[in-house]
Amino acid sequence: MVNAPTTNSLSGPLPDPTANAGYAADHPPRVGFFTDTSVCIGCKACEVACKEWNALPADGVGDHGAEGDVLGLTGMSYDNSGGLGASTYRHVAFVEQRVPAKTSVPVELGMPLSQLPGAVNPGEDREGDATEVRWLMASDVCKHCTHAACLDVCPTGALIRTEHGTVLVQDDICNGCGYCIPACPYGVIDQRKGDGGAFKCTMCQDRLGDGLMPACATACPTESIMFGNLDELRERADARLATLHGQNVPEARLYGHDPNDGVGGDGAFFLLLDEPEVYGLPPDPVVTTKDLPSMWRHAGAAALTAAGAVALAFLGARR
pLDDT digit string, tens, across residues 24-47: 999 999 999 999 999 999 999 999
Q: In this structure, are residues 102 and 129 in contact, taking their beta carbons and an 8 Å threshold?
A: no
Least confident of 216-220, 245-249, 312-316: 312-316
Any idea what DSSP says for residue 223? -
Q: Are 293 and 286 in contact (CB under 8 A)?
A: no
Q: Where is average pLDDT lowest: 57-71, 214-228, 252-266, 276-290?
A: 57-71
Residue 4, pLDDT above cutoff 50: no
Residue of 3, 30, 8, 33 whose CA lies nearest to 18: 30
CA distance 19 to 3: 9
**pLDDT computed for residue 151 by the predictor:** 92
Confidence of residue 310 (pLDDT cuts 50, 70, 90): confident
List all residues 6 or more positions away from 265 whose beta carbon is below 8 Å from its beta carbon: 13, 145, 146, 256, 257, 258, 259
What phi, psi does 199 have (nearest 5°)?
A: -135, 150
Residue 256 · residue 145 · CB < 8 Å: no
Tell me how far apart the alpha carbons of residues 227 and 230 are, in angstroms, rounded to a whole number: 8
Is 90 exceeded by the pLDDT of residue 130? Answer: no
Q: Which residue ranges make up the annotated binding site for [4Fe-4S] cluster?
A: 40, 43, 46, 50, 142, 145, 150, 154, 174, 177, 180, 184, 201, 204, 216, 220
Question: What ranges do the domains of the chain cover?
Answer: 17-99+129-288, 289-318
Binding-site positions read: 40, 43, 46, 50, 142, 145, 150, 154, 174, 177, 180, 184, 201, 204, 216, 220
Pairing of strands 90-100, 31-36: unpaired
Residue 249 CB coordination number (10 Å):
16
Check pLDDT > 70 for residue 166: yes
Looking at 3.30.70.2860, 3.10.180.10, 3.30.70.20, 3.30.10.20, the CATH number of the domain 17-99+129-288 comes to 3.30.70.20
Average pLDDT value over all residues in the chain:
85
Q: What is the pLDDT of residue 132?
A: 79
Q: Is the pLDDT of residue 85 over 70?
A: yes
pLDDT-derived band at 113, boundaries 50, 70, 90: low
Mean pLDDT of 198-220: 96
